[in-house]
Amino acid sequence: MEIAGRIAVVTGGASGIGRSICLALADADAAGVVVADIDAAGAGKVAAQIEAAGHRALAVPADMSSEAEVQALVARTEDALGPVDLFFSNAGIIVAGGVEVADEAWSRIWAINVHSHVYAARALLPGMLDRGQGYLVITASAAGLLTQLGSAPYAVTKHAAVALAEWLSITYGERGVSVSVLCPQAVTSNLADTSRRELGQDALPADVGATGGSAQAAVDGVLEPDQVAAVVLEAVRGEQFLILPHPDVATYERRRADDRERWLRGMRRLQARLGGST
């Protein structure tokens, strides 16, 4: 899909990957960029930056774990700018721990990392199918293809996000709706701060910094959000389903599929080497 002239919505758009995607869309001459985030002030700053550069933008405060707010986001976009062509479902959080993580935290991460994508699809699909075109980009993680050492909730919800994206692509791909899933490893962002805001200061160990993830995710390097955004827009132009800013993830996924037992043994060794466990 060509980006120029399109109406795009980006959730989690106030910072990190979402912010960089918003700015990149504007630079690519999108007709309008909607910056959606639970951080209303942050969304407003990004929209103002886009407008200062001579592009059209709209900031919309929205909690993507609420279906009513997702529906309102789409409706407000359509009222102000027109039908949504591109929707980047990018909100996400992480919490440390395994099966012992409290039910409240499991519910919150499930709502943001999975149900937000379901709500976006519910809100968008009727219009996109009627028009015979549309694009949904779901931000998952390399953890959704592999795993996340030290965080069962993150691994589980990101696997679910990948599965949903695959199902949507299979079900609607021949009806004009394109779907991509973004699966980066470590990226400099405010994931840790966002997660602590949503789940409390104990959501992550105190030494977890800007990437929000474990040392596992940083093995192949930490990318800047602008680097990820450039990869994402190029993939959208080519309507590529699986977006891997860290190309090595494709090799890891093949190894996992080819010999699951060997891969599990390797991950156990990696966990022991990194000193990570739940």
Active site residues: 154
Angle (deg, nearest 10), helices 116-131 and 67-80: 40
User: In terms of C-beta density within 10 A (0-12 exposed, 13-18 middle, 19 or more buried), how is residue 232 classed?
Assistant: buried
- Residues near 200 by Cβ (< 8 Å), separated by ≥ 6? none
Q: Which of 277, 272, 248, 250 is nearest to 152 (CA)?
A: 277
Tally DSSP H helices, then E strands, for the chain: 10, 7
**E strand or H helix that includes residue 230:** helix 225-237
Q: Which of 46, 161, 168 is nearest to 93 (CA)?
A: 161
Of all residues in the chain, what percent are helix, strand and coil, respectively (each to 5)? Answer: 55, 15, 30
